Amino acid sequence: LETPVPAAVDHLTLRRGAARVLLTNWTGSSTVPSRGLYPHQWSWDSAFIAIGLRHLSARRAQRELESLLGAQWADGRVPHIVFSPSVPLDAYFPSPDFWRSSTAGAPAGAPAGTETSGIVQPPVHALAAWLVHRADPETSRERGFLPRVYERLVAWHDYLTGPRDLGGGGLAAMVHPWEPGMDNSPCWDGPLGRVEPAAPGSYRRADLDHGQAAERPTDLDYGRYVRLAADYRDSGYADVPGGHAFAVEDPCVNALLIVSEHALARIAAGTGADPAPHEARAARLTAALVERLWSPADGMFLCRDLVGGELIPERSVAGLVPLIVPGLPRDVVDALLGTVAGPGFRLGEVPMAPSYDIDGHAFDPSRYWRGPAWFNTNWLLERGLRGYGQDGTADALRAAMLDAAGASSFAEYVDPFTAQARGTRAFGWTAALTLDLLA
Ligand code: 9WN
C-alpha cells in the first residue's frame, strides 16, 4: 500500500537539501547523477546539473561542462558517459572494458587518456553553457568560458547534423535506446523487436544492485541494449545510413538541438563569431522537425523509425518537449497545449506530466520511462509553457515539481498520480533543476 506523500518542505529547506545533493555528488571536476546507481559522468545529466549548479557556483558549473566536453571525440561526438578511473569496473554496466574507447583503435577519434562510452545523449549542452554564462558573466569572461566551449559545441552540433543525419531529412538520428535518454520508452518496443538479444549470461546487470527490478528496464530490454551497443562498437562506431538495426528520429532530442542551436548563436555573438549560421541552422531544424515528426492526428510529435520509415504510434512525453522550441506554427502550439492538458497527459489534474500516455497500452506508473514523471522533462515543459505565454499552468507545474522534489528526497522519477518516489534518491538533475526553479 502507498504511504501518503509527506507534507511539502519549505523553500529554504528545499534549497539546502538540493545543494547538499549537488555537493555530495560532486567529484572534483563533475557531478555524478547518483553515487550508487550512476557513479560516473553522464552527458545530458551534466548539462541539466550545470543549469542548477550555476546558482551555487558559476565556476563549478563551467567546469562541469568543460570536463564533459574535454572527453569529446575527434568526430565531434560527446560521449554519453565519461568514466571515472577511481570507480571499480563492476560498479556500473557497461563499463569501459565493454566500450573500449581508448583501446579499440577508435576510428572516430576517442580521447586517449579518458575512458568513455561510444554513444551520445541529447544535446542540452549549448543551452546549459549559455545559461551558465548568463548567471555570472564576469567569472565567465575572466575564465574565457565561452571561447573555451564554443568550438567544441559547434563540432558537437556538426556531428549531430552531419554524420547523424541518417535519415537524410535534416534531423539527428539516435542509434541506441540509451541515446535519447529514455531507455525503455514504449516508442522503442517496435524497433527493438527486430534486435536479437545478447545471451543473458554474457553480462551482469549492475543496475539491479541499486534499483528495483520492477522500476527498471526488463532483462529482455537489456539483452537488446547490449547487442546493439556491441554491434556499434564492433563497427568502429561508424554512422552509416541504412546500416543500423535501430535508428530513430526523436522529437525531444531534436527540440533540444534546436534550442541549443539558438543558444549557440548567442554564444557565437559573445565570442565575436557570426551568429547567423546558427540561427539559419536552427530554422532549418525547426522546419524539418515539423515536417518529419509532427502528427496532426495525435496533436503531438512522434518518433520516426528510420528502419521501417514510419512514424511510431506511441505517445511519449518526448513528443511534447518541442514546446520549448520558439517560433513553432501556431496550430502546432495550440494542439500541443491541448495534448499536454488532455486525457493522455492530464497536466493540471496530475502533479507532473507522465513520461508516457496514461491511457496508452504500455503505461506503467512505476517502470522508468513507461509512465513515471521525470523532473528534466517537466522542467523543459515548464520552460516551454512559459515561452508560449502559459504562465498560470507553468506556475502550477513549478509548484508541483518543488513539492515532489522535496517530498521524494530528490527522486530520480515519481509516480505520476501520487508523486511517490521511484528509482534512486539524491538524484543529480532533480536537485539541480529544483535549485533552478527556486532561483
Ligand atoms: C543509461 C543517468 C542516466 C540518464 C538516462 C537514464 C539512465 C542509464 C541507465 O540514467 O540511463 O544511460 O543505466 O539506465 O535513462 O536518461 O541520463 O542518470
pLDDT in tens, 145-170: 999 999 999 999 999 999 999 999 99
Q: Which residues pair with 174 in a beta bridge?
A: 248
Beta strands in 146-245 (DSSP E): 173-174
User: What does the mean pLDDT of the chain come to?
Assistant: 96
According to the model, what pLDDT value does residue 9 have? 84
pLDDT in tens, 196-220: 999 999 999 999 999 999 999 999 9
**What pLDDT is attached to residue 2?**
46
The ipTM is 0.99
Instruction: Find out whether the beta carbon of 75 lies less than 6 Å from any atom of ligand 1.
Output: no
Is 44 close to ligand 1, i.e. is its CB under 6 Å away?
A: yes
Q: Say whether 278 sits in a helix, a strand or coil.
A: helix
β pairing state of 294-295 and 300-301? antiparallel
Looking at beta carbons, which pairs linking 264-267 to residues 24 or more positions away fall under 8 Å?
264/126, 264/130, 264/150, 264/153, 264/154, 264/157, 266/130, 267/126, 267/129, 267/130, 267/133, 267/146, 267/149, 267/150, 267/153
Per-residue pLDDT band for 6 (boundaries 50, 70, 90) equals: low
Which residue is listed with cell 549560421? 277
Is pTM beyond 0.90? Reply is: yes
Nearest in space to 232 (alpha carbons), one of 313, 144, 328, 166: 166
pLDDT for the residue numbered 108? 73
DSSP letter assigned to residue 427? -
Stretch among 5-19, 48-62, 231-245, 393-407 having the lowest mean pLDDT: 5-19
Ligand 1, atom nearest to 181 Cα: 16
Tens-place pLDDT, residues 275-295: 999 999 999 999 999 999 999
> Which residue is catalytic, options 45, 183, 221, 250?
183
**Annotation says 183 is catalytic:** yes
Strand bridging mode 41-42 / 81-82 = antiparallel
List pLDDT tens digits, range 34-46: 999 999 999 999 9
**Distance from the alpha carbon of residue 144 to the mean position of ligand 1, in angstroms:** 31
434 alpha carbon – ligand 1 mean position (Å): 19
Assess whether pLDDT exceeds 50 at residue 1: no
In angstroms, what is the span from residue 393 Cα to ligand 1's centroid? 28
Q: Which of 231, 412, 415, 436 is catalytic?
A: 412
| Res. 420: pLDDT tops 60 | yes
